[in-house]
Amino acid sequence: MDKRFMNKTALVTGAASGIGEAAVRAFAAEGANVVISDISADGQNLSEELNRQGGSTVFIQADVTKEEDVKRMIDAAVDRYGQLDVLFANAGIGVPSLIHETSFDDWKKVIDVNLHGVFLCNKYTITQMLKQAAGGAIVNNDSIHGLVGRQRTGSYSAAKGAVKLLTQTGCAEYSSRGIRINNVNPGYIETPLVDRLPEPVKQELVKLHPIGRLGRPEEVAKAVLFLASDDASFITGASLVVDGGYTSV
Ligand code: NAI
């Protein structure tokens, strides 16, 4: 297979686990320099493992809700690799609860990571890409719950719905400068985020996917790499649903 990301630098947030980790492995396999960023120090092990296998990665610990962290993360990426070509804004959390039982603190926490974090990473990546004047590609990790609601997803859906429109606004503002911005919208995927749900809830979720199972992180990573690659050169402002049919029925 052609290595689509040779001489390119990809930054992945929330990269120490789940979909982010799968994307890191996929970018590295396709020749990218990968900046692995996470609030958790676990990303260091992943970086060391990939570098031992001949990859070129660096770990930068950062909290996407902190503006200073995000600026430092972008600066460190550029210091290390000289450029930034791809952002996968993936870091996210979920705190499931009915609206009337959601504490304001939990609401703010989910909006902070899933919306403010994506905004900050987009803002400072775009600033860097405009400086480079060589275009770039951003993929924001949205969700089927950026498109449709479900019980106990109030704060999560509110944040993810806003990410969809942030992406479309970014498309309107930066497409003419060669920066493409898209969303990937996964259905339920087998990651620690979903593993934390009670088993009966997981069984109910399986039934909502016509394909008859939950998704795998690698299946989302493939869609992310497509959107980030030149194969998607005429695709911007789009929401690519990767959901085993969840939103079709
Ligand atoms: P995960 O829990 O396996 O991984 C999330 C990663 O984000 C963790 O490594 C965590 O340390 C990191 N993180 C959390 N808060 C952070 C912060 N403030 N700054 C930097 N990093 C932070 O979760 P998963 O499932 O891989 O989720 C990744 C993204 O995919 C999220 O945005 C989630 O909303 C989205 N998604 C997940 C789905 C699923 O079913 N697993 C479905 C649709 C979307």
Expressed in angstroms and rounded, the spacing between residue 179 Cα and the centre of ligand 1 is 24
- Atom number in ligand 1 closest to CA 217: 26
Expressed in angstroms and rounded, the spacing between residue 92 Cα and the centre of ligand 1 is 4
Rg of the chain in Å (alpha carbons): 17
Expressed in angstroms and rounded, the spacing between residue 218 Cα and the centre of ligand 1 is 14
Q: What share of the chain is helix, strand, coil (3-state, %, to 5)?
A: 50, 15, 30
Which pLDDT does position 93 carry in this prediction?
Answer: 97
- Averaged in consecutive runs of 10 residues, what is the pLDDT profile of the chain (249 residues)? 92 98 98 98 98 98 98 98 98 97 98 99 98 98 98 97 98 98 98 91 95 98 98 98 98
- Extended beta strands in the chain, E state: 9-13, 33-38, 56-61, 86-89, 136-141, 179-186, 239-242
Q: What's the one-letter identity of residue 168? A: Q
Q: Give, in degrees to the nearest 5, the angle at Cα 17 between 29 and 168.
A: 80
The preferred substitution site among 13, 24, 38, 148 for testing ligand 1, maximizing ligand atoms within 8 Å of CB, is 38
Catalytic residue numbers read 156
Spatial separation of the C-alpha atoms in residues 161 and 149, rounded to whole Å = 9
Which domains are present in the chain?
9-241 (3.40.50.720)
Q: Which residue's entry shows tokens 């809830």?
A: 201
Task: Name the residue at shortest CA distance from atom 26 of ligand 1.
Answer: 18
Q: How far is CA 138 from CA 15, 116, 123, in A?
A: 15, 16, 11
Q: What is the pTM of this model?
A: 0.99
Q: Three-state SS for 62?
A: coil
Q: How far is CA 107 from CA 99, 155, 222, in A?
A: 9, 5, 31
Which pLDDT does position 67 carry in this prediction?
Answer: 99
Expressed in angstroms and rounded, the spacing between residue 40 Cα and the centre of ligand 1 is 11
Which pLDDT does position 1 carry in this prediction?
Answer: 63
* Pocket, ligand 1, Cβ cutoff 6 A: 13-14, 16-20, 38-40, 63-65, 90-93, 113, 117, 141, 143, 186, 188-189, 191-194
Which pLDDT does position 235 carry in this prediction?
Answer: 98
Q: How far is CA 244 from CA 6, 207, 208, 224, 241, in A?
A: 31, 11, 9, 16, 9
